């Protein structure tokens, strides 16, 4: 007799879904969950300890590490290129989406040092990013998954691509965001699920203050923004400020990885324009609106889809086999 999930429904079905996801994604590439089982058996314990220490020191770091993985994979594929140092015309760190924004590089350095002590010259920086992203989600109360591994590190960053609007931005239209996800093989559901990563973390005033008085200089706030938030946000982001103050992306659930981000979108409390348009824009009515509503009502569905999507994202053009290298220092090639 076919066994049903109904007896523990949500959790049982979620576990089965994750198992199926792992088989499906692994079959599309050369990455595997047990890649370091023999060569670095304590890898996960070492990385988890370092991520735990970093988040204990600064809770915001969970969102920062997750974002680094995202920004790495969208440029050049998941090859650790975002970690490479360089100058203002070569390093991805100086590209507009990352400059004074991407953070957590020193935590990756600490993880890499600890991993090198455990098993020198074995684990790539790109794989460390993927594991650190998973641990950041788990330690914030979100779902877990078996990370697909076996990536190698790229030899060079791609400043041009990172600076050429391939990364979704806070001022993009919904059509632009959909197109950018599609360009790396991620569909509409992936886009909404991965946007849910904004359930943790903070954003600088510079990327949302336009919503407090719109581009037409009318003095009118963005009509899709809950008006009750405006006085507080204007205090946080004064018009004569430098734009570096921060506000939580997921109001009232800042550090917990849950589906509250989507609940906020339903009442106009998405902080970024690029978040709120998933529900409130005209373009959303026939595309993302329904997905947002589903996730707001069903955290298990959000978790399952998020795992599916981040595994797909982690499989964007990885370097494997004899391609690339295993960096000893994540900031420089060997």
pLDDT at residue 206, rounded to an integer:
94
- Tell me the average pLDDT of the chain: 91
Residue ranges of domains in the chain, CATH in brackets: 30-167 (1.10.520.10), 174-309 (1.10.420.10)
pLDDT at residue 177, rounded to an integer:
97
In this prediction, residue 222 has a pLDDT band, given cuts at 50, 70 and 90, of confident
Active-site annotation holds for 69: no
Contacts of 30 (CB under 8 A, 6+ apart): 150, 318, 320, 321
Share of the chain above pLDDT 90, in %: 85
Share of the chain above pLDDT 70, in %: 89
Query: 69, 71, 198, 260: which one is catalytic?
Result: 71
Alpha helices in the chain (DSSP H): 9-28, 43-57, 61-74, 105-118, 125-139, 159-162, 174-183, 188-195, 230-236, 260-266, 273-280, 289-297, 299-313
- Is the pLDDT at 1 greater than 50, yes or no? no
Rounded Cα distance between 139 and 136, Å, is 5
Residue 204, helix vs strand vs coil: strand
């Amino acid at each position: 007799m076919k066994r049903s999930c109904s007896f523990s429904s949500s959790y049982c079905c979620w576990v089965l879904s994750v198992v199926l996801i792992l088989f499906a994604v692994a079959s599309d590439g050369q990455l595997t969950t047990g890649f370091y089982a023999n060569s670095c058996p304590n890898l996960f314990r070492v990385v988890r300890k370092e991520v735990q220490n970093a988040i204990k020191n600064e809770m915001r770091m969970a969102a920062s590490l997750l974002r680094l993985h995202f920004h790495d994979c969208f440029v050049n594929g998941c090859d650790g290129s975002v970690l490479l140092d360089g100058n203002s015309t070569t390093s991805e760190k100086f590209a507009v989406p990352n400059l004074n924004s991407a953070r957590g590089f020193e935590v990756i350095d600490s993880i890499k040092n600890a991993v090198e002590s455990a098993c020198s010259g074995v684990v790539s920086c790109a794989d460390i990013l993927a594991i650190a992203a998973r641990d950041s989600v788990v330690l914030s109360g979100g779902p877990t998954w078996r990370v697909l591994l076996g990536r190698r590190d790229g030899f060079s960053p791609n400043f041009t691509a990172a600076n050429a609007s391939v990364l979704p931005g806070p001022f993009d239209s919904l059509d632009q965001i959909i197109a950018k996800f599609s360009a790396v093989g991620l569909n509409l559901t992936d886009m909404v699920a991965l946007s849910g990563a904004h359930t943790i973390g903070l954003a600088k005033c510079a990327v949302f203050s336009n919503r407090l008085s719109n581009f037409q200089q009318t003095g009118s706030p963005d009509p899709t923004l809950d008006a009750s938030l405006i006085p507080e946000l204007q205090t946080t982001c004064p018009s004569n400020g430098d734009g570096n103050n921060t506000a939580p992306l997921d109001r009232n659930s800042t550090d917990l990885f849950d589906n509250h981000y989507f609940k906020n979108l339903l009442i106009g409390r998405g902080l970024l324009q690029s978040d709120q348009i998933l529900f409130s824009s005209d373009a959303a009515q026939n595309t993302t609106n329904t997905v947002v509503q589903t996730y707001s009502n069903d955290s298990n569905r959000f978790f399952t889809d998020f795992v599916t999507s981040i595994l797909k994202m982690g499989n964007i053009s990885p370097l494997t086999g004899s391609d690339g290298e295993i960096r000893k220092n994540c900031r420089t090639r060997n």
